[in-house]
Amino acid sequence: MTVVDTMTMRRIRRIHFVGIGGSGMGGIAEVLLHLGYEITGSDLAENAMTRRLAGQGARIFTGHDARQV
């Protein structure tokens, strides 16, 4: 990562994931949660990953809607 990339990432506070219940998106979201980012996300249905992330502090929405971002 360059200095500019690092500075940009420090300004970002919240990250929203579409498809957060999947193993890929959910895994990335979990790492970012542990790094201190505020995580929101949506998926078509609740599953073990969405429940796990919600239990760790992520705000999870069922269904996709532009107003959630």
Q: 12 phi and psi, to 5 degrees?
A: -75, 130
Residue closest to 68 by CA, chosen among 9, 20, 10: 20
pLDDT digit string, tens, across residues 24-67: 999 999 999 999 999 999 999 999 999 999 999 999 999 877 77
**pTM for the structure as a whole:** 0.81
Query: Which pLDDT score, from 0 to 100, does residue 66 have?
Result: 74
Is residue 4 very low, low, confident or very high in pLDDT (cuts 50, 70, 90)? low
pLDDT band at 3 (very low <50, low <70, confident <90, very high): low
- Say what the pLDDT of residue 10 is: 76
| Domains, the chain | 14-68 (3.40.50.720)
What DSSP line would sit under 1-69, residue for residue? Answer: --HHHHHHHHH--EEEEETTTSHHHHHHHHHHHHTT-EEEEEESS--HHHHHHHHTT-EEEES--GGG-
